[in-house]
A and B are shown apart, each in its own frame.
Chain A
Amino acid sequence: AQSVTQLDSQVPVFEEAPVELRCNYSSSVSVYLFWYVQYPNQGLQLLLKYLSGSTLVKGINGFEAEFNKSQTSFHLRKPSVHISDTAEYFCAVRGTRSNDYKLSFGAGTTVTVRA
């Protein structure tokens, strides 16, 4: 079984400032890692995912995340946010075995970008 902790429930940030959303996970098996974004009253959209290889993963809309196995973390960053980045962000994990299909989600981080 896996669990995900998102350390910040709310992150206010000014436009054009950098933002970092923290995610730690716990798992007894190796995992794949995902970040999803949920805009108001919308479904979840995949921002980026880590499957293997380079620990720095680049996603859509200028986001990137770094997988740190020793720290069991997968923090999401963006160097300069826009008003349109206001949304809720979810970190999720899933086991790497072929029969692993359940995503385990964190509680979410609400990012509010102000002008």
Chain B
Amino acid sequence: NAGVMQNPRHLVRRRGQEARLRCSPMKGHSHVYWYRQLPEEGLKFMVYLQKENIIDESGMPKERFSAEFPKEGPSILRIQQVVRGDSAAYFCASSPSAGGGTEAFFGQGTRLTVV
């Protein structure tokens, strides 16, 4: 059973370009979470999705950021018109259910650098 797969591992974008980050959850997991890790900081919650539904996007910046988890295929975190402040590590996690003592399994992250 492969773990949570994220790609690409490293992504370099120029200011103003779009960044697309992909996350394939573990087999059997229908709950996906995205977290952002800024330099020298812990991970901060961005969004929680189930198949075809955004459950909680309270941690997402209001502009330029969007996320989806379609019926088929990976979850996508999309950042439009990237700025230098978007440079960070973006981690995806998945779980078979939400809440309680359920463990969330993390991917290796996508490190986005905006130049």
Contacts and interface: CB of A to CB of B under 8 A. Distances in A.
Interface of A: 4, 6, 32, 36, 41-46, 49, 51, 90, 92, 94, 96-108
Contacts of A51: 101
A103 B43 contact: yes
Contact of A43 (B33, B42, B106): B106
Contact of A90 (B42, B99, B100, B103): B42
Contact of A103 (B100, B104, B105, B109): B104
Interface in B36-69: 40-45, 48, 56, 59
Contacts, number: 67
Most buried by A among B4, B99, B105, B109: B99
Contacts of B40: 107
B113 to A, nearest CB: 13
B101 to A, nearest CB: 4
Most buried by A among B35, B95, B100: B100
A99 B42 contact: no
Contact of B107 (A43, A98, A100, A102): A43
Contacts of B99: 94, 97-101
A49 B103 contact: yes
Given A90-B43, A100-B99, A44 B106 contact: yes
A36 B59 CA distance: 21
A105 B33 contact: no
B91 to A, nearest CB: 6
Contacts of B44: 105
Interface in B80-114: 91, 93, 95, 98-101, 103-109, 111
Contacts of B4: 43
Given A32-B100, A99-B99, A103-B35, 16 more contacts: A43-B4, A43-B91, A43-B106, A43-B109, A44-B93, A44-B106, A90-B42, A92-B42, A100-B99, A101-B99, A102-B45, A102-B56, A103-B45, A105-B44, A107-B41, A107-B42
